[in-house]
Amino acid sequence: MKINHVLKALSHPIRRAIIAYLRNGSMTAGALAEKFDVSKPTMSTHFAALKEAGLITAERDGVTIHYRLNATVAEEAIGMLMGLFGTQHMPSVQEQPPAPEETENEI
Amino acid sequence: MKINHVLKALSHPIRRAIIAYLRNGSMTAGALAEKFDVSKPTMSTHFAALKEAGLITAERDGVTIHYRLNATVAEEAIGMLMGLFGTQHMPSVQEQPPAPEETENEI
DNA sequence: TATCTAATTAGATAATCAGCTAATTAGAGT
DNA sequence: ACTCTAATTAGCTGATTATCTAATTAGATA
């Protein structure tokens, strides 16, 4: 898993939304494509970026292709980011954390 | 915190290395800059990207500027990614996880 | 084999990004 | 007021990214 590929893959809203869809189970390329307002070839390149990062896997069934989330890579990525930040405890993922107050000495 | 800014900020190796340095305490722009083999103006734009994402804060002390990691935003970002992936349990961050075996039906 | 469907690849273009040098700002100290 | 230092902004160039339409591939089926 190359963290650079993973983070680049994640830094596009459509690709994050694809992942969000795939949390609920695998979907075909076409079914995913029609959820977004871009062309199918554009969606194909988004799939390719996620696949390159290892975040999704593809499985052909006849003429259609099913994409599925790769939870292993997702967890590895989170582990690496936690290592990067030195995160000590779990942030809440269910509720929205309170907005941080403005700091004084920002430039 | 805009997750898009955070992920774009993280998707460059120099910017991740800056964060790694700042884990050990704040550093001046100049001290950080001389750790990397790019020009100071280029480093400045990397600082700006991290600042824009909220991952670091800047504090001026006379003529020098001290950058510091913003742990709050780092944890929020990890929380959002865990929400995105639907991560259930903690991956190990200390030891290297085993390489995932190749899947059969990749295309 | 001809054709239909699902999806990708090819090729082009506009926008964004990363890097550089040169110029500018901001503060401190003569 | 000058000058020195630390850092950023301005302006440019080359590389990468996101998007599109058109063309191609791959499998299924009449």
B3 with A10: CB under 8 angstroms? Answer: no
**For residue B23, pLDDT beyond 50:** yes
**For residue B36, pLDDT beyond 70:** yes
* A42-80 pLDDT, tens digit each: 999 999 999 999 999 999 999 999 999 999 999 999 999
Q: Is residue B100 part of a domain?
A: no
Q: Is residue A67 part of a domain?
A: yes
C-beta atoms of A11 and B11 within 8 A? yes
Q: Give B42's pLDDT tier (boundaries 50, 70, 90).
A: very high
Which tops the pLDDT comparison, A1 or B44? Answer: B44
Percent of chain B at pLDDT above 70? 81
Q: Can you spell out the DSSP letters for A32-90?
A: HHTTSSS-HHHHHHHHHHHHHTTSEEEEEETTEEEEEE-HHHHHHHHHHHHHHHT--SP
Q: Report, as an integer, the average pLDDT of B45-51.
A: 98
Which of A1, A11, A87 is opposite residue B8, by nearest beta carbon?
A11
- Does residue B39 reach within 7 angstroms of strand D, measured from its CB? no
Q: Is residue B64 part of a domain?
A: yes
Q: Report the number of distinct structural domains present in chain A.
A: 1
Task: List, as ranges, residues 12-41 from B with C-beta within 8 Å of A.
Answer: 13, 16, 19-20, 23
Q: Is residue A28 part of a domain?
A: yes
pLDDT value at residue A91:
39
Determine which of A7, A63, A96 to mutate to test the interface with B (most B C-beta atoms within 10 Å). A7
Range of the structural domain that residue A51 is part of: 3-85
On chain B, the residues whose CB falls within 8 A of the CB of A90 are 90
How close A27 gets to chain B, by Cα (Å)? Answer: 15
Q: Report, as an integer, the average pLDDT of B42-69.
A: 98
Q: What is the CATH number of the domain that holds B57?
A: 1.10.10.10
Identify the CA nearest to B19 among candidates B45, B50, B61: B50
**For residue B15, pLDDT beyond 80:** yes
pLDDT value at residue B1:
87
- The C1' atom of C30 and the CA atom of B35 lie apart, in whole Å, by 32
- Give the closest residue to D4 (Cα–C1′): B63
Which tops the pLDDT comparison, A11 or B105? Answer: A11
Q: Is residue B65 part of a domain?
A: yes
For residue B64, give the amino acid letter.
Answer: T
Average model confidence (pLDDT) across chain A: 85
Nucleotide nearest to B67 (CA to C1'): D7
pLDDT value at residue A32:
98
Q: Is residue B59 part of a domain?
A: yes
* B66-94 pLDDT, tens digit each: 999 999 999 999 999 999 998 754 444 33
